[in-house]
Amino acid sequence: MARSSTLRDWIEALPEEGRYTFTRPDVDAVTDASAKTVKMTLRRLKRSGAIVAPRQDFFVVVPREYRAAGCPPASWFVDDLMRYLGRRYYVGLLSAAALHGAGHQQPMAFQVMVESVERSIQAGRARIDFHVSSVFDGAATQLIQTETGAMRVATPETTAFDLVRFPAASGYWSNIATVLSELAEQLDPEALAASAARVARTDVQRLGWLLDFVDQPDLADALAPTIAGKRLRPTPLTGGRESAGAPLDPRWHVLVNDDVEPDL
């Protein structure tokens, strides 16, 4: 930062360099202003809506077109944020499905998968919900370009299994069935079968049943060999819900104890 420039000038010029995030260590590296002056400048910028702090000492520059919303979309800064926090992540569930073209119902929050608990973020109207995956390692992901760089996103196959593994966060079974029907054209049968190895057998049963239900026999047939010859216990579609008397699907051994009405 030139000596004639102020900290405010430096921050406001960041978007011209394609940057929309900065940290307190970044600030300390570019200014010799006192800690009191820096704190006051940052406070004024936050008060004016020019910046927002999703986490302590991590700041996002808010372009004027997003001042009313209080924050640009989470996709603009999630990768920088997770790098700052030192956390592995990938965008998942309905957020990933939407990025793959299955955007029938946009999630209220930007959904991110992590290895351990991370509290949700609310920055203006942008909300990030974190979901802990017990099978995070080995999840197939890909880099998707964003307006400001790139972020790591679940592949369509990882997304399909995560939707089944987190039904509440995915809008429950009717919505999951709708999303799967839209996601189907992006699913590769071989990759889907390979993904089955890293999840619970019950997840394979539920996803297989849903793929049959939404008339995707090729994808269902790709999953079937992954559990062929294995002992399949009757698995309720909705865990924790009464399943006595529920019809049992003979192929997947899923007890259909819930109503599924996709919007197809």
Residue-wise pLDDT for 86-140, tens only, equals: 999 999 999 999 999 997 767 889 999 999 999 999 999 999 999 999 999 999 9
In this prediction, residue 2 carries a pLDDT of 43
Nearest alpha-carbon partner for 52 in 32, 25, 74, 85: 74
- What does the block give as tokens for 54? 């999703």
Distance between CA atoms of residues 245 and 243, nearest Å: 6
H or E element that contains 54: strand 51-55
- 3-class state of residue 161 by DSSP: helix
Name the percent of the chain lying above pLDDT 90. Answer: 93
E-assigned strands of 90-135?
Answer: 90-91, 110-114, 121-123, 126-132
The residue ranges of every structural domain in the chain are 7-63, 74-255
Task: Identify the helix (H) or strand (E) that includes residue 58.
Answer: strand 58-61
Partners of 150 in beta bridges: 145
Q: For 189-205, how does the pLDDT look when each residue is reduced to its tens digit (9 = 90+)?
A: 999 999 999 999 999 99
Main-chain phi, psi angles of 181, to 5 degrees: -65, -35
Could you tell me the fold of the domain covering 7-63?
Arc Repressor Mutant, subunit A (1.10.10)
Q: What is the pLDDT of residues 217-248, one digit of tens each?
A: 999 999 999 999 999 999 999 998 999 999 99
- Pick from 162, 160, 156, 161: nearest CA to 142: 156
Does position 3 have pLDDT exceeding 60, yes or no? no
Whether 65 shows a pLDDT value over 90: the answer reads yes
Is the per-residue pLDDT at 264 higher than 80?
Answer: no
Task: Tell me the percentage of the chain whose pLDDT exceeds 70.
Answer: 97
In the predicted model, what is the mean pLDDT of the chain? 95
pLDDT band for 215, please (50, 70, 90 cuts).
Answer: very high
